[in-house]
Amino acid sequence: MDFRHLGNSGLVISEIAYGNWITHGSQVEEDTATSCVRAALDAGVTTFDTADVYAQGRAEEVLGRALKGERRDGLEIFSKVFWPMGEGRNDKGLSRKHIIRGAEDSLRRLGTDYLDLYQAHRFDYTTPLEETMRAFEDLVRQGKALYIGVSEWRAEEIERALKIADEMGFDRIVSSQPQYNMLWRVIESEVVPLSEREGIGQIVWSPIAGGILTGKYRPGQELPAGSRAADPKSEKFLADKVSDQALLERVQRLEPLAAEAGLTLSQLAVAWVLQNPNVSAAIIGASRPEQVESNVKAAGVKLDTGLMARIDEVLGDSIERDPALTRSPENIRG
């Protein structure tokens, strides 16, 4: 395993992080989830990412139990707050009430007394940003969160938060958690340049595009049994991609490029995001330990510029680059 600093902070994290969105507490049984966490630990992964909303808290509970007994100082545990966690008016968003309560609940479910990184899961247009930033600052001062990050925020939203932090003497945002992969590059034109200037590192999710970049979805063929796209709980996230025959054909043409590099297609996809120097870590998920064992082999891989250019040629106009596609709900309280 290779390690990188989280942005310009002093926190060092594994460049492969293990995340449990969709899988823990819902798609896979707890013993399998625990086996996946053990496989990640055995491979040298020290960074684990979750969120309160994943399986409505169950994912945090499963991860907490899986990590029980591990030396806490040897781990980096990340969580997030924003999405509804109940029916109440204040059970969502980035108000002080929801952030503070959310942090306390996440700590309880994870079985830890602090989070290494606490992240705003989306931007909240209904709460003053000063209130949000002060609530996160209070958690840092209390030692309940060591660093603060955001997820799926636009460049201008990150910039506003940085300005408030500087004016009010708060700790600055050190990380951004966006979707990023060979096909989805919407952060490259605005978020990444800002982050490079301001010392913010990317912790990217979906490096294999929800499984599309594994090559298992083949044009003209039925969805593989047991795949995410065939699961009613998660197929909505992939429906547009698995129905795009031109995209699936292009992905198949990446397989020879991966073979040339001595990688599987999944490993190539994870290694690809790690070539971006602004990326601090790539989050991988898994429903089986073997998936973890395979994908962690992308750590430390260097891809030459010629191969990177050929990947772009193959994918062509299947690559999405529009920064406006990063969106948060306009009215989380509506």
Q: What is the pLDDT of residues 244-303, one digit of tens each?
A: 788 899 999 999 999 999 999 999 999 999 999 999 999 999 889 999 999 999 999 999
The catalytic position among 18, 54, 180, 217 is 54
- pLDDT one-digit tens code per residue, 37-66: 999 999 999 999 999 999 999 999 999 999
b/e 17-38 (16+ beta carbons within 10 angstroms → b): bbbbbbbbbbbbeeebbbbbbe
Report the chain's terminal Cα–Cα distance, integer Å.
44
pTM of the model: 0.92
CA atoms within 13 A on the CB side of 246: 7
54 belongs to the catalytic site: yes
State which CATH number among 3.40.50.720, 3.40.50.300, 3.40.50.80, 3.20.20.100 fits the domain covering 3-325.
3.20.20.100
